[in-house]
Amino acid sequence: MKGKIVSTAGGIYTIYVDGITYNVFPKGIFKFKKQHLCVGDNVNFDENEFVITEILERKNELIRPRSANIDLLLITMSVVEPDLSKELLYKFLTYANMNGIEAKVLFTKLDLLKDKSELNSLIEDLNKLDIEVFSISKKDDSDLNKIKEVTKGKTTIVMGQTGVGKSSFLNLLDEKFERKIGSYSEARGRGKHQTKEVILLPFNEGFIGDTPGFSALDLELFKEDLAQFFPGYNKYYTECYFSNCLHQNEKQCKIKEKISKGNLSKEGYEIYIKLLSDLKYRNERYSK
């Protein structure tokens, strides 16, 4: 029988098939072949012996949050508590591009933000990148129906920092989810974990995933890769005069041209330069 892994705990995998769940174990051959299973995997399993017999081919795999066969990343950022990190947001968007996964952005806790001018400027920058943006708060959940539309029939992962309201958002999306909600610690300046593992919830002819939060993301790439995958740059980088353009001091750089014309964000470019400075050139690794 074929099904999808929707959660795992203590070496037991929960598989979803047409509204029914099965708790099963993997065959020992997976460990022998050093094959790992993760949430989102489509698998064949023996419903009589309750063992997974085969992992079907993946279309993608995320290391963080550990998951597979994802159609959409809903990057969830709070505007306060914890404060909005634009650098982390751009990292998340770059990560989505690296893995070839569509990304949309959800801002939460807007009712706690007094001055929205900086947020509105960021949303304008994201719109220039053709990134769809949603927002929710205790006072306004009008975007929920839009989110339901874009997630229909897809496997969606909700990702973001701890304490941004991922579980609260899911409970708004469908009250039957009853996800445990964490809290924000002002003393620590970060949220408190409630979700410990990735779990896919059947939703709207597809699945939507609650995930553990994380406030740091290391991008496993080189300078040349960032020049390609940074949000917005993936659309224009092939138009630069130099094929290996890093969009710094090179002449006839399409990215800098788009920035000067207002098609790409100056603030986004500053974040790009900061991230670029922390990375190595591809050939440096091979020379060691």
Task: Based on the fold, state whether residues 52 and 66 are members of the same structural domain.
Answer: no
**What pLDDT was estimated at residue 133?**
98
User: pLDDT-based confidence at 269, cuts 50/70/90?
Assistant: very high
User: pLDDT-based confidence at 34, cuts 50/70/90?
Assistant: confident
The C-alpha atoms of residue 264 and residue 232 are separated, in whole angstroms, by: 7
pLDDT at 186 over 70: no
Give the single-character DSSP code of 157: E
Buried b (16+ CB within 10 A) or exposed e, 235-258: bbbeebeeeebbbeeeeebbbbeb
Lowest mean pLDDT among 31-35, 65-69, 184-188: 184-188
Q: What is the mean pLDDT of residues 182-202?
A: 61
Task: Based on the fold, state whether residues 115 and 179 are members of the same structural domain.
Answer: yes
The C-alpha atoms of residue 179 and residue 217 are separated, in whole angstroms, by: 25
Residue 34 · residue 42 · CB < 8 Å: no
Task: Based on the fold, state whether residues 48 and 68 are members of the same structural domain.
Answer: no
Q: Could you give the C-alpha distances from 46 to 21, 27, 30, 43, in angstroms and in order?
A: 13, 10, 15, 10
**What pLDDT was estimated at residue 30?**
80
Task: Based on the fold, state whether residues 108 and 177 are members of the same structural domain.
Answer: yes
**What pLDDT was estimated at residue 179?**
74
The C-alpha atoms of residue 207 and residue 199 are separated, in whole angstroms, by: 10
Task: Based on the fold, state whether residues 95 and 171 are members of the same structural domain.
Answer: yes
Q: Which of 37, 57, 77 finishes a domain?
A: 57
- Looking from the CA of 226 toward its CB, the CA atoms found within 13 Å total 26
- 84 within some domain: yes
Write out the two tokens for 283: 């050939």
Strands (E), the chain: 2-9, 12-17, 20-26, 42-46, 51-55, 61-62, 67-68, 72-78, 102-108, 133-135, 155-160, 184-185, 190-191, 199-203, 206-210
pLDDT at 191 over 70: no
**Between 35 and 258, residue with greater pLDDT:** 258
Task: Based on the fold, state whether residues 192 and 275 are members of the same structural domain.
Answer: no
User: pLDDT-based confidence at 32, cuts 50/70/90?
Assistant: low
**Between 241 and 179, residue with greater pLDDT:** 241
pLDDT at 2 over 50: yes
Q: Could you give the C-alpha distances from 107 to 2, 54, 110, 159, 259, in angstroms and in order?
A: 36, 39, 7, 12, 25
Q: What is the mean pLDDT of residues 192-221?
A: 86
pLDDT at 175 over 90: no
Give the CATH number of the domain where residue 261 resides.
1.10.40.50
**What pLDDT was estimated at residue 284?**
55
**What pLDDT was estimated at residue 35?**
82
Task: Based on the fold, state whether residues 95 and 202 are members of the same structural domain.
Answer: yes
**Between 48 and 190, residue with greater pLDDT:** 48
The pLDDT tens digits of the residues spanning 126-151 come to 999 999 999 998 888 899 999 999 99
- 215 within some domain: no
Helices (H), 174-263: 223-229, 233-236, 254-260
Task: Based on the fold, state whether residues 68 and 196 are members of the same structural domain.
Answer: yes
- 39 within some domain: yes
The pLDDT tens digits of the residues spanning 220-246 come to 999 999 999 999 998 898 999 999 999
Classify strands 51-55 and 42-46 as parallel, antiparallel or unpaired: antiparallel
User: pLDDT-based confidence at 111, cuts 50/70/90?
Assistant: very high
- 113 within some domain: yes
Task: Based on the fold, state whether residues 104 and 230 are members of the same structural domain.
Answer: no
Lowest mean pLDDT among 57-61, 95-99, 227-231, 233-237: 233-237
Radius of gyration of the chain (CA): 21
- 197 within some domain: yes
- 12 within some domain: yes
**What pLDDT was estimated at residue 23?**
96
User: pLDDT-based confidence at 288, cuts 50/70/90?
Assistant: very low
Q: What is the mean pLDDT of the chain?
A: 90
**What pLDDT was estimated at residue 287?**
42
pLDDT at 283 over 80: no
**What pLDDT was estimated at residue 190?**
47
Q: Which of 41, 57, 73 finishes a domain?
A: 57
Q: Which of 57, 83, 99 finishes a domain?
A: 57
- 231 within some domain: yes
- 217 within some domain: no
Question: How many separate domains does the chain show?
Answer: 3
Give the CATH number of the domain where residue 158 resides.
3.40.50.300
Residue 110 · residue 80 · CB < 8 Å: no
Domain with 233, as residue range(s), is 223-286
Residue 26 class from Cβ within 10 Å (0-12 exposed, 13-18 middle, 19+ buried)? buried
Task: Based on the fold, state whether residues 100 and 202 are members of the same structural domain.
Answer: yes
Task: Based on the fold, state whether residues 239 and 196 are members of the same structural domain.
Answer: no
Look up tokens 């591009």; give the residue.
97
Task: Based on the fold, state whether residues 52 and 9 are members of the same structural domain.
Answer: yes
